[in-house]
């Protein structure tokens, strides 16, 4: 027999991506530097993409003139009010659908019918209903956040471990206690991952909401820049929206770490 | 005024199953099960898979309703009893988002027991299940055996009259199972409790049961009731007389277990 033998070839591993903190930043910076280089060297024409340094300069001017916060303020308040309205109604309705047969049978088809409607198409309707002021903007964002939240929430309630609910009943917990202490926390992972999507949709709809009758707001700023083909300003606005998205996602990530530390 | 005092002091709660029968649609799963469970006893229910032993346990605790027959509660539960019929589940059923003590306080909160009063109960039951050092731990940090001990502590916290144990050790490895059986015997010896213990493991049945009820295959009927007189504390792993009883029980079940195994699943 051969004493040395051959070692068994390793064939496990992989299929388990881990998050590497700074790689995302590096990719982003590399992309920006690449575009900067291209626009300076001239093989990207200034008509097709603005120079990143120019966008940054526009952004700085926006900040210096104080206009940034003049635009950001109303947008943030529209986003907050609309999203909180839509998400809270959505979570409540989703839980009701998850708990009651009649609510489920009655509302699931309705939600399925509302979901695919592009909410932007309903903007004129909202203007008639809620006026050209803030009301229609809140309504549009709220409505857009509502449907994905409902779907995510009732799915999450469906996925709550039934044995935990039976356990609650077997210890004589009241209906309300079971909902509050077992169903809600059990559905929380699904609700939060649903919120990630609905809040991103809320940011998308912010621009749509500011199409009509908005003097200030990030959306109004972008739309104005777009109609003037002012690419630097357009990109400055888009960057703000992106940052907003990253911020929202970060906040939800924090909430997940705080609320869902119990997950294995 | 004397009468209730006396009945309180000597309160005993027995359970009587009176002609329990059950069927799903036309499919009869249980027929005419009558059984008395007297207080201070552990009654083990064994039977081949699919004989409806877990369903029977759900009837006893009121989690499901039998088509025929009644489950009767004879006598009053002891004073201070918060939840007379209390389950211990095979999969522990702990809330993963609550700590060990949080899981126990969950079943006290609805009875208005909070703060210091709750802490006192929690401390006591954790000490009895040797979990005092783990009050703050989350379920994900605990081994299977520890999780089941938390579930036992939670059941003890509501001072049950009857514990309904649904294959409580089946999800555990055999060594942990031995340890937990010892723990259960110790708990019972210190303070006898009433329990209905459903299992498919005959070794558990002969170690823990004062009576072993053997159910037959579908439709589940009582095939035989075997009393084991040897005191729980005197029983040990591999006792010759217990092995004999276990062998006898296995003979009762063997053919039916084989037939049950060969059967296509219903539905």
Q: Do B140 and B251 belong together in one domain?
A: no
User: Where does B52-99 have alpha helices with state H?
Assistant: 53-60
- Does residue B88 lie in a domain region? no
Residue range A47-65, pLDDT digits in tens: 888 899 999 999 999 999 9
For residue B84, give the chain A residue with the closest CA.
Answer: A171
Q: Do B165 and B49 belong together in one domain?
A: yes
The DSSP 8-state label assigned to residue B220 in this structure reads B
Structure tokens at B111: 């009875």
* Residue from the list A169, A188, A261 with its beta carbon closest to the beta carbon of B63: A169
Domains in chain B: how many in total?
A: 2
Specify the higher pLDDT residue, B32 or B50: B32
Q: How far apart are CA B156 and CA B150, in angstroms?
A: 10
A-B CB pairs within 8 A amount to 54
Structure tokens at B234: 């005197």
Only one residue has tokens 């170690």, namely B207
Residue range B164-186, pLDDT digits in tens: 999 999 988 989 999 999 999 99
Q: Which of A76, A211, A89 is nearest to A147 (CA)?
A: A89
- For range B41-62, the mean pLDDT: 88
Residue range A77-128, pLDDT digits in tens: 999 999 999 999 999 999 999 999 999 999 999 999 999 999 888 888 999 9
Domain boundary among B158, B178, B196: B158
Q: How far is A148 from chain B (nearest CA, A)?
A: 25
Q: How far is B21 from chain A (nearest CA, A)?
A: 22
How high does pLDDT run on average in chain B?
87
The phi, psi pair for A236, rounded to 5°, reads -60, -40
* Residue from the list A172, A173, A264 with its beta carbon closest to the beta carbon of B140: A264
Q: Do B45 and B171 belong together in one domain?
A: yes
For residue A261, give the chain B residue with the closest CA.
Answer: B97
Q: What is the ipTM of this complex?
A: 0.86
Q: Do B171 and B61 belong together in one domain?
A: yes
Q: Do B56 and B188 belong together in one domain?
A: yes
What is the CA angle B109-B115-B121, rounded to 5? 75
All residues of chain B having their beta carbon less than 8 Å from the beta carbon of residue A186 are 97
- Does residue B108 lie in a domain region? yes
B220, B53 Cβ separation under 8 angstroms: yes
* Residue from the list A163, A177, A264 with its beta carbon closest to the beta carbon of B89: A163
> Could you tell me the residue range of the domain that residue B222 belongs to?
39-66+160-260
- Does residue A5 lie in a domain region? no
Domains in chain A: how many in total?
A: 1
Q: State pTM to two decimals.
A: 0.83
- Residues in chain A with pLDDT values less than 50: none
Q: Do B166 and B248 belong together in one domain?
A: yes
Q: Do B168 and B115 belong together in one domain?
A: no
Residue range B217-241, pLDDT digits in tens: 878 888 889 888 888 888 888 888 8
pLDDT at B265: 65
Q: Do B154 and B164 belong together in one domain?
A: no
pLDDT at B4: 41
pLDDT of residue B43 exceeding 90, the answer is yes
CATH number at residue A197: 1.10.3720.10
pLDDT at B8: 38
How high does pLDDT run on average in chain A?
91
All residues of chain A having their beta carbon less than 8 Å from the beta carbon of residue B154 are 171
Residue range B133-156, pLDDT digits in tens: 999 999 999 999 999 999 999 999
């Amino acid at each position: 027999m051969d004493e040395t033998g051959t070692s068994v070839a390793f064939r496990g591993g992989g299929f388990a991506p881990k998050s590497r903190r700074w790689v995302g930043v590096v990719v982003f910076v590399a992309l920006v530097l690449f575009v900067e280089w291209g626009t300076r060297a001239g093989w990207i024409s200034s008509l097709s993409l603005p120079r990143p340094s120019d966008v940054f300069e526009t952004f700085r001017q926006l900040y210096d003139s104080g206009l940034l916060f003049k635009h950001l303020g109303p947008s943030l308040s529209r986003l907050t009010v609309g999203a909180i309205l839509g998400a809270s109604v959505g979570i409540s309705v989703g839980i009701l659908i998850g708990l009651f047969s009649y609510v489920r049978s009655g509302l699931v088809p309705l939600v399925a019918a509302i979901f695919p409607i592009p909410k932007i198409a309903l903007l004129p309707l909202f203007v008639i209903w809620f006026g050209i002021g803030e009301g229609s903007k809140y309504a549009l964002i709220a409505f857009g956040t509502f449907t994905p939240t409902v779907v995510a929430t009732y799915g999450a309630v469906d996925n709550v471990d039934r044995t935990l609910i039976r356990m609650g009943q077997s210890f004589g917990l009241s209906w309300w206690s079971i909902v509050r202490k077992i169903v809600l926390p059990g559905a929380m992972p699904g609700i939060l991952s649903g919120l990630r999507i609905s809040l991103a949709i809320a940011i998308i709809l912010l621009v749509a909401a500011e199409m009509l009758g908005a003097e200030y707001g990030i959306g109004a700023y972008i739309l104005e820049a777009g109609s003037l083909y002012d690419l630097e300003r357009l990109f400055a606005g888009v960057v703000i929206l992106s940052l907003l998205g990253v911020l929202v996602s970060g906040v939800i990530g924090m909430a997940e770490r705080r609320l869902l530390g119990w997950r294995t | 005024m004397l009468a209730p005092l006396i009945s309180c002091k000597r309160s005993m709660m027995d359970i009587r199953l009176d002609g329990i029968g059950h069927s799903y649609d036309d499919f009869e799963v249980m027929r005419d099960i009558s059984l008395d469970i007297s207080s201070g006893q552990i009654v083990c229910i064994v039977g081949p898979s699919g004989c409806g032993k877990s369903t029977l346990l759900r009837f006893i605790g009121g989690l499901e309703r039998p088509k025929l027959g009644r489950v009767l509660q004879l006598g009053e539960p002891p004073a201070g009893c918060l939840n007379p019929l209390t389950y211990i589940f095979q999969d522990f059923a702990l809330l993963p988002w609550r700590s060990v003590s949080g899981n126990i306080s969950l079943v006290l909160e609805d009875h208005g027991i909070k703060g210091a009063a709750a802490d006192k109960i929690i401390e006591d039951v954790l000490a009895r299940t040797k979990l005092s050092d783990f009050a703050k731990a989350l379920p994900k940090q605990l081994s299977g055996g520890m999780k089941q001990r938390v579930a036992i502590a939670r059941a003890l916290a509501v001072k049950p009259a009857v514990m309904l144990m649904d294959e409580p050790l089946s999800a555990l490895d055999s060594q942990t199972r031995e340890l937990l059986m010892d723990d259960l015997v110790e708990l019972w010896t210190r303070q006898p409790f009433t329990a209905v213990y459903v299992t498919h493991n005959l070794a558990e049945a002969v170690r823990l049961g004062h009576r072993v009820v053997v159910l037959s295959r579908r439709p589940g009927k009582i095939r035989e009731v075997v009393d084991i007189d040897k005191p729980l504390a005197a029983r040990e792993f591999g006792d010759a007389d217990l092995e004999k009883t276990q062998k006898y029980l296995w003979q009762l079940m063997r053919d039916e277990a084989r037939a049950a195994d060969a059967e296509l699943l219903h539905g």
